[in-house]
Amino acid sequence: MASLKSANIIIDLAPACARLVAGELVAIPTETVYGLAAAIGSTEGLKKIFALKERPFFDPLIVHVASFKEAAQLVSDWPPLADFLARSFWPGPFTLVLPKAKHVNYLITSGLETVAIRYPAHPIAQELIRLVGQPLAAPSANRFGRTSPTSPKHVQSEFPHSDLLILDGGDCEIGVESTVVSVTTDEVCILRPGQITEERIRLALKKWAKDVRVFSAANLNIDAPEAPGALKHHYMPEIPLVIVPIGEGSELRAETRLKIQNALGVPIQRTVELSLNPDPVLAARELYSEMRRLAETGVDCMFVRSHDNRDGLWSAIWDRLEKAASLVLCPPES
Among positions 17, 20, 27, 33, the unique one binding ligand TXA when judged by CB under 6 A: 33
Q: Count Cβ atoms below 10 Å from residue 289 Cβ, excluding itself.
A: 18
Within residues 84-103, the interface with ligand TXA by CB under 6 A covers 93, 95, 97
Return the number of the residue (35 or 237) whose C-beta is nearest ligand TXA: 35
Residue 61 within binding range of ligand TXA, rule CB under 6 A: yes
Residue 82 within binding range of ligand TXA, rule CB under 6 A: no
Residue 32 within binding range of ligand TXA, rule CB under 6 A: yes
Query: What does the radius of gyration of the chain's CA atoms come to, in whole angstroms?
Result: 20
Among positions 39, 46, 52, 112, the unique one binding ligand TXA when judged by CB under 6 A: 112
- Choose the one of ligand TXA, Mg ion, none that binds residue 32, judging by a C-beta under 5 to 8 angstroms depending on kind: ligand TXA
* Distance from C-alpha of 2 to C-alpha of 221, rounded to nearest angstrom: 53
* Distance from C-alpha of 179 to C-alpha of 274, rounded to nearest angstrom: 24
Within residues 129-148, the interface with Mg ion by CB under 5 A covers 140
Shortest distance in whole angstroms from residue 15 CB to Mg ion: 25
* Distance from C-alpha of 62 to C-alpha of 266, rounded to nearest angstrom: 37
Task: Estimate to the nearest angstrom the gap between the alpha carbon of 126 and the chain centroid.
Answer: 18
- Choose the one of ligand TXA, Mg ion, none that binds residue 95, judging by a C-beta under 5 to 8 angstroms depending on kind: ligand TXA
Q: Of 253, 242, 37, whose CA–CA distance to 128 is shortest?
A: 37
- Choose the one of Mg ion, ligand TXA, none that binds residue 287, judging by a C-beta under 5 to 8 angstroms depending on kind: none
Shortest distance in whole angstroms from residue 323 CB to ligand TXA: 11
Return the number of the residue (60 or 240) whose C-beta is nearest ligand TXA: 60
Shortest distance in whole angstroms from residue 316 CB to ligand TXA: 11
Return the number of the residue (19 or 234) whose C-beta is nearest Mg ion: 234
* Distance from C-alpha of 159 to C-alpha of 164, rounded to nearest angstrom: 8
Scanning the chain, the segments in alpha helix (DSSP H) are 13-21, 43-53, 68-72, 80-89, 106-109, 123-132, 152-158, 198-205, 254-264, 280-295, 314-324
Residue 196 within binding range of ligand TXA, rule CB under 6 A: no
Residue 229 within binding range of ligand TXA, rule CB under 6 A: yes
Q: What is the DSSP-derived secondary structure letter of residue 37? A: E
Residue 289 within binding range of Mg ion, rule CB under 5 A: no
Shortest distance in whole angstroms from residue 176 CB to Mg ion: 10
* Distance from C-alpha of 284 to C-alpha of 58, rounded to nearest angstrom: 27
User: 265-268: long-range contacts (C-beta < 8 A, 24 or more apart)?
Assistant: 266/240, 266/300, 267/300, 268/300, 268/301
Consecutive H or E run containing 327:
strand 327-328
Among positions 24, 27, 42, 60, the unique one binding ligand TXA when judged by CB under 6 A: 60
Return the number of the residue (59 or 127) whose C-beta is nearest ligand TXA: 59
Residue 126 within binding range of ligand TXA, rule CB under 6 A: no
2 Cβ contact partners less than 8 Å away, ≥ 6 residues apart: none
Within residues 131-170, the interface with ligand TXA by CB under 6 A covers 138-140
Shortest distance in whole angstroms from residue 193 CB to ligand TXA: 12
Helix/strand/coil for 251 = coil
110: phi > 0 → left, psi -120 to 50 → alpha, else beta; which?
A: left
Binding site for ligand TXA (CB under 6 A): 30, 32-33, 35, 59-62, 93, 95, 97, 109, 112, 114-116, 118, 138-140, 177-178, 180, 191-192, 226-230
